[in-house]
Structures are given as structure tokens and as C-alpha cells.
């Protein structure tokens, strides 16, 4: 899969392609926020293996750090995984609803995240 990027990131292009592919099914985009990019840049800088070991390293890190209570989010818009103190929060779940506005029906989803260490919660709202 070839990507053409028109933005700046510290992540090398081949690393970004790998991370985009790994995060696709989990609702994770490595450059969706400054916190997300910083997290992946830190992982990349800590990696000391060779190129053949890279995919496994990142798969394990993503599964370890992007925890969910039941299933991964189904984003209506762009990925908005929440972070607290530089770490990904646990995805608790989402509540989907339909609202009537301006004569039409629209989907709305509420995504709930939680930090198990200090109990902080964050909610993201997206509409289609």
C-alpha cells in the first residue's frame, strides 16, 4: 500500500505506513493528534531491533497500550483516541443514537475513555 503524504511528521514514511496499516482495524491513526504522534515517536525511538522485528514490536505495543473494555470504537469521523498523562486511555465503549435536526436524521456517537490509575474520564462526541 503506497501513501502520499503532504504534511510533516517525525515518523519515517515506511514507519507511518506500517502504523497506519496496524491501526486501521483498531480505530487508531498514528498522526490523528499531537499526543498520538508523540506516543508513536517515543515507541519508534525506543525500538532497537532490526526491520524484520519492527511489525511485531509495534503490534505488541498497540495491543498492550490501546486497551478496550469490550470492542474497539467505530468512529463516525476521524480517530480521536484519548490520552492522559501521555498514555492511551482505556476505551470503555460507545453509545450510538439518532437525532433529528434541520429536517433530517443524523447519527451521533459518544465515545467514553477512562484512565484506570486515577479515574479520569473523557468523552468524545461525533456526528455524521
Digit-coded pLDDT (tens) for 81-102: 999 999 999 999 999 999 998 8
Where does the chain hold its CATH 2.30.30 domain(s)?
Answer: 67-128
Residue 2: pLDDT above 70?
A: no
Alpha-carbon gap, residue 124 to 62, rounded angstroms: 21
Q: Classify the C-alpha dihedral 78-79-84-85 as positive or negative.
A: negative
Q: What pLDDT sits at residue 101? A: 86
Architecture of the 67-128 domain: Roll (2.30)
Q: Which of 14-28, 40-54, 77-91 has the highest mean pLDDT?
A: 77-91
Q: What is the pTM of this model?
A: 0.84
Closest CA to 68 of 19, 10, 27: 27
Dig out the grid coordinates for 47 from the structure: 525500538
Contact at 8 Å (CB) between 27 and 77? no
Q: φ and ψ at 123, to 5 degrees?
A: -125, 135
Amino acid at each position: 500500500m503506497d501513501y502520499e503524504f503532504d504534511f510533516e511528521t517525525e515518523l519515517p514514511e515506511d514507519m507511518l505506513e506500517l502504523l497506519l496499516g496496524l491501526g486501521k482495524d483498531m480505530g487508531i491513526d498514528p498522526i490523528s493528534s499531537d499526543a498520538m504522534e508523540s506516543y508513536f515517536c517515543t515507541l519508534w525511538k525506543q525500538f532497537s531491533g532490526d526491520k524484520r522485528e519492527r511489525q511485531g514490536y509495534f503490534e505488541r505495543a498497540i495491543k498492550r497500550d490501546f486497551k478496550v473494555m469490550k470492542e474497539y470504537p467505530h468512529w463516525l469521523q476521524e480517530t480521536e483516541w484519548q490520552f492522559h498523562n501521555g498514555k492511551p486511555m482505556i476505551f470503555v465503549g460507545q453509545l450510538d443514537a439518532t437525532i433529528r435536526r434541520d429536517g433530517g436524521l443524523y447519527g451521533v456517537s459518544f465515545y467514553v475513555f477512562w484512565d484506570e490509575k486515577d479515574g479520569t474520564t473523557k468523552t468524545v462526541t461525533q456526528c455524521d
